[in-house]
């Protein structure tokens, strides 16, 4: 019972199902991964990682919204997880930007292609 049946194109647009939010999350995650793999500015890599974390949050909140199980629906587990992810992401952003500024002070560059001391 996939919502994406090619013979019925209108069912792709309406109604909105759990699958729509999951695809949105997957697409955003891939865009963020592409940025993290290809950017050379360390701050830009960090911005891509924030996009990936947001994609995961959308997925978790969507699972929480579409969970109809009477036992678990009002526990909002997906939303609670999203809150903890936001917390950890804020901590990660603060530490990572401090590291970027520290690297800039010592090496005078934040190009991740030049920061390769530990490269194998």
What is the end-to-end Cα distance of the chain in Å, rounded? 48
Give residues with Cβ within 8 angstroms of 99, minimum separation 6. Answer: none
Binding mask 12-51 for another protein (x = CB under 8 A): -xxxxxxxxxxxx-xxxxxxxxxx-xxxxx-xx-xxx-xx
Does residue 47 contact residue 66 with C-beta atoms inside 8 Å? no
* Distance in angstroms (rounded) separating the CA atoms of residues 92 and 94: 5
Q: Find the binder of another protein among 84, 116, 117, 119 (CB under 8 A).
A: 84
Closest separation between CB of residue 31 and another protein, Å? 5
Any idea how long the chain is?
Answer: 120
* Distance in angstroms (rounded) separating the CA atoms of residues 70 and 49: 35
- Considering beta carbons, is residue 9 or 15 the nearer one to another protein? 15
Contact between 56 and another protein by CB under 8 A: the answer reads no
- Considering beta carbons, is residue 9 or 97 the nearer one to another protein? 97
Closest separation between CB of residue 23 and another protein, Å? 7
Q: Find the binder of another protein among 70, 116, 117, 120 (CB under 8 A).
A: 70
DSSP letter, residue 1: -
Closest separation between CB of residue 45 and another protein, Å? 10
């Amino acid at each position: 019972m996939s919502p994406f049946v090619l013979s019925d194109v209108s069912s792709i647009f309406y109604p909105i199902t759990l699958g729509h939010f999951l695809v949105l999350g997957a697409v955003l995650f891939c865009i963020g991964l592409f940025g993290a793999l290809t950017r050379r500015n360390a701050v830009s890599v960090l911005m891509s990682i924030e996009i990936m974390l947001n994609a995961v949050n959308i997925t978790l909140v969507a699972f929480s919204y579409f969970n109809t199980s009477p036992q678990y629906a009002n526990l909002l587990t997906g939303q609670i997880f999203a809150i903890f992810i936001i917390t950890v992401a804020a901590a990660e952003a603060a530490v990572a930007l401090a590291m970027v500024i520290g690297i800039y002070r010592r090496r005078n560059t934040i190009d991740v292609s030049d920061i390769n001391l530990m490269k194998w």
